[in-house]
Structures are given as C-alpha cells and as structure tokens.
Amino acid sequence: MADQNGPKHARYQDYVIKDAKLVGEFEEMYRDHADPWMQSASTELMPDRAVALSTIKRLVDAGEVRRVLEVGCGLGLFTQQISETGAEAYGTDISPTAIEKAKATYAAPDFRVGELMATAIYDEIKPDLIVMSEISWYVLDQLQEFADFCRKTRPNSYLMHILTFYPPGEQSYGTAYFTDFPDLKAYMPVNIIEEAEFRGQNFGTTTRSYFVGQWQPL
C-alpha cells in the first residue's frame, strides 16, 4: 500500500527503470502500487505464456519435468497457472510484499522471498525447469553468473525464457547485452528446443519472445 503521503512515483515503471538506468525499487513499487503491469487484472493469457504453459504440461506429462521454479514471480498468477499443469510449482521474488500477496491469493504454489542468485533455494528445490518471464532486463548483470551456476549444479535442467523487446529508439537500457531475439539467443548458453516470436497490432511496436531449452555443457 502507498503511505499516507501517496506513492513515491505515480508510474510504477519509474521504480524499475528510469532515464535508461536501473532503479530496482521493487519492494517500494509493490508497496505503493496494487497491481503493477496489471499482473492480476486479466485472465487473458498472452500468446507467449499460453505456449509456455502448454510446453510445461507436455514436459510434465512426459515425465521430464516435475518441479518448476518461476523466478521473479511477482504477484504469483503465472506460478499458479504453472501449478495447474500438474507441476510442483515454486515462485520467488525479491519483494516480500509481492510474496505476501501471492501467498494470500494462491494456495497451491510454494512462494518464497529470494533474488535471482538465491542459490540456497535452487539447492533445496532442485528445479527441473526454471522460468524467467519478463525479468531479464532487471538482472542483466547477474545473467552470466546465473547461467554458470545452473550449468554447474543443474546441467540437465530446462530454462524457459519470456522477454519483450522494443524497437531501436524506444529502448536504450540494456542494449550493451542484447537488442533483439537473435542477440538474446546468442547470449544465453542454452540449446534451444522450441522458440517463438510474437508481433502484431495487439503488441504495438514491441516483439514478445519465448524459448525453452537445456543448458549447454560448461
């Protein structure tokens, strides 16, 4: 909730990235804004998430995946939907407020406070599949460390990755790492087994990307 003086920023986006710089005030954002990114406002699935859930169910039914961990789960809706595929679903987020709200809303998943490199959580859960949905722009400086950790400790696990890209001129933050879907795929040490890009009038000028794969050997 916002304090009695109102939220620090009127736009929830300004808690995250502003003036091409990472702000990263996620806990303050979740305290001040009830539903950033309208995470829980709609039951309509974006196509990347619909495909992701279908893939998770297929992997679960085939016996290849049992434990799925969504990192950066926010208010928990997608983690809940993952649990409905039959997976043992876990969700982590750096914001205690987000996790508190997720626990109060959804009973099935196991929600925990933790950042991307909360390695003790990975060691305990031993996820077969890790889901990163729209968080990579916020953890760019940790992606290589995260990948190396997974390749070392969970070499046979899967990574499922969802990320929105913006056209040249609309985004300046993060372009030193990757600027489009081909750049991302070259950056991440994953053998991709399924991928997709989504464009169209419903997405404006953005491109939504999705892939799932297994880690390349160290």
Q: Indicate whether 56 belongs to any domain.
A: yes
Pairing relationship of beta strands 207-215 and 158-165 according to DSSP bridges: antiparallel
Domain total for the chain?
Answer: 1
Lowest mean pLDDT among 40-44, 51-55, 129-133, 193-197: 40-44
Tens digits of residue pLDDT in 84-102: 999 999 999 999 999 999 9
Q: Is 160 helix (H, G, I), strand (E, B) or coil?
A: strand
* Residue at 149 is within a domain: yes
Residues 52-91 as b or e (16 or more Cβ within 10 Å = b): bbebbbebbeeeebebbbbbbbbbbbbbbbbbebebbbbb
Q: What is the pLDDT of residue 7?
A: 86
pLDDT at 92: 98
Would you state the pLDDT for residue 45? Answer: 76
Q: What count of other Cβ atoms lies within 10 Å of the Cβ of residue 160?
A: 26
For residue 183, pLDDT over 70 is answered with yes
Q: Could you give the CA distance from residue 160 to residue 133 in angstroms, rounded to a whole number? A: 8
Is 63 domain-assigned? Answer: yes
Mean pLDDT of 18-34: 92
* Partners of residue 91 on adjacent β-strands: 70, 111
Within-domain flag for 10: no
Residue 9, CA distances (Å) to 25, 29, 53, 119 in order = 11, 8, 34, 32
CB within 8 Å of 95: residues ≥ 6 apart: 26, 27, 29, 30, 74, 113
Evaluate whether residue 108 is within a structural domain: yes
Domain contains 196: yes
Q: Which domain holds residue 66?
A: 47-215
State the pLDDT at residue 164.
95
The CATH number for 204's domain is: 3.40.50.150
- pLDDT at residue 2, rounded to an integer: 45
Residue 135 or residue 41, greater confidence: 135
Residue 43 pLDDT level (bands cut at 50, 70, 90) = low
pLDDT of residue 40: 82
Whole-number average pLDDT of the chain:
93
Q: What pLDDT does 136 receive?
A: 97
Please say if the pLDDT value at position 4 is more than 60.
Answer: no
Within-domain flag for 153: yes
Assess if residue 179 is contained within a domain: yes
Q: How confident is the model at residue 72 (pLDDT cuts 50, 70, 90)?
A: very high
Average pLDDT over residues 28-39: 92
Q: Which helix (H) or strand (E) holds 8?
A: none
